[in-house]
């Protein structure tokens, strides 16, 4: 199965919440609990896309998910213990799922280490989990501010 096909299937199954992830080596918890954003999916995705582009991160839209990938220059000891020694071409993959929730969006994140067709699932360290929560909260704050401005402008019309 091609990596892009695998990611598509994985994203759809994550959103549906009705199947487990495929097994490539050790499977560990990688998800950050969802955050409800009081803005429509379109605005949330635009915020994510704009931020990722400014950082030079590759973005792919797949179903209800945005996939962000970036090269991994080196492998931390904790990652090496689970995924093996660093290899050229290793990258991080972050899947941000955006699902409509009432008038807002449920936003969640999964992180992976990818070596070609091989995916390594990692337990988020406390620091990584905090970084993930902070990133989701920044997306939430930005999207909700954009939504407030749009609503205020519409009310003036």
Residue 17, φ and ψ in degrees, nearest 5: 65, 25
Residues 102-131: what's their mean pLDDT?
Answer: 86
pLDDT band at 116 (very low <50, low <70, confident <90, very high): confident
pLDDT at 154 over 50: yes
Q: What is the predicted pLDDT for the residue at 32?
A: 59
Displacement of CA 83 from its chain's centroid (Å) = 19
pLDDT band at 33 (very low <50, low <70, confident <90, very high): low
Considering the entire predicted model, what is its pTM? 0.74
Write the burial class of residue 20 (CB in 10 Å: 0-12 exposed, 13-18 middle, 19+ buried): exposed
> Under a CB-based contact definition with an 8 Å cutoff, are residues 40 and 24 in contact?
no
Q: List C-alpha distances in Å: 6 to 12, 57, 58.
A: 10, 20, 17
**Average pLDDT over the chain, rounded to an integer:** 79
């Amino acid at each position: 199965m091609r990596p892009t096909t695998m990611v598509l299937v994985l994203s759809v199954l994550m959103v549906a919440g009705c199947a487990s992830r495929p097994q490539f080596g050790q499977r560990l918890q990688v998800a950050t609990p969802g955050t409800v954003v009081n803005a429509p999916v379109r605005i949330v995705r635009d915020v994510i896309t704009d931020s990722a582009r400014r950082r030079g991160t590759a973005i792919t839209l797949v179903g209800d998910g945005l996939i962000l990938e970036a090269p991994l220059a080196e492998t931390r000891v904790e990652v090496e213990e689970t995924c093996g020694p660093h290899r050229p071409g290793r990258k991080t993959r972050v899947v941000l799922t955006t699902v409509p929730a009432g008038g807002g969006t449920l936003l969640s994140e999964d992180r992976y280490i990818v070596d070609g067709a091989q995916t390594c699932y990692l337990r988020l360290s406390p620091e990584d989990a905090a970084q993930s929560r902070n990133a989701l909260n920044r997306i939430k704050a930005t999207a909700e501010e954009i939504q407030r401005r749009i609503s205020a402008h519409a009310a003036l019309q």
